[in-house]
Amino acid sequence: MRLGFFLFLVTVPFLAALGFDYADYRLDPSEGFNYNILGKIWAQNFEDSYIAARDSMDPQNWAIITAFLKQPAALLGFLFAHIIFILVAFLKLLGWFTRWKRSMSDDENEHNLQDVRDLDFLRKNRQENYKYKKRR
């Protein structure tokens, strides 16, 4: 259950980017559906942080980041989600998640053993109740 929620959270950036693109399309449908680039979204909506980041870096590093910011936001969200999906599938194949579940604390293990003992007690009582009695 926790893994499914984590995988849903990984898809949120992709869904948010698609929602932003769809909102732009609904505002002006004459332009058609276009994917917004990440840098445009950042510069339009968070202008102060964009300017602060640009001014705080030297031009060589900013050129590397600009190449990343020229990509469509939906594509980057899609790639990020799928890289995480592939990583989780690989770890499941290796059995990492099963080892993680087995490493419960001693208190939880003792609690689980007590539940099993209670179930054994209930089974014995049921069997005794269903014994046939001879008629005289």
Which pLDDT tens digit goes with each residue over 32-57?
888 888 888 888 889 999 999 999 99
Which pLDDT tens digit goes with each residue over 69-109?
999 999 999 999 999 999 988 888 887 766 555 544 544 44
CA–CA distance from 46 to each of 10, 15, 32, 35, 54 (Å)? 22, 19, 25, 18, 12
- Give me 72's structure tokens: 């469509």
Specify the pLDDT at position 106.
Answer: 47
pTM: 0.60
| CB neighbour class for 134 (10 Å; exposed up to 12, middle 13-18, buried from 19) | exposed
| CB neighbour class for 73 (10 Å; exposed up to 12, middle 13-18, buried from 19) | buried
13, 80 Cβ separation under 8 angstroms: yes
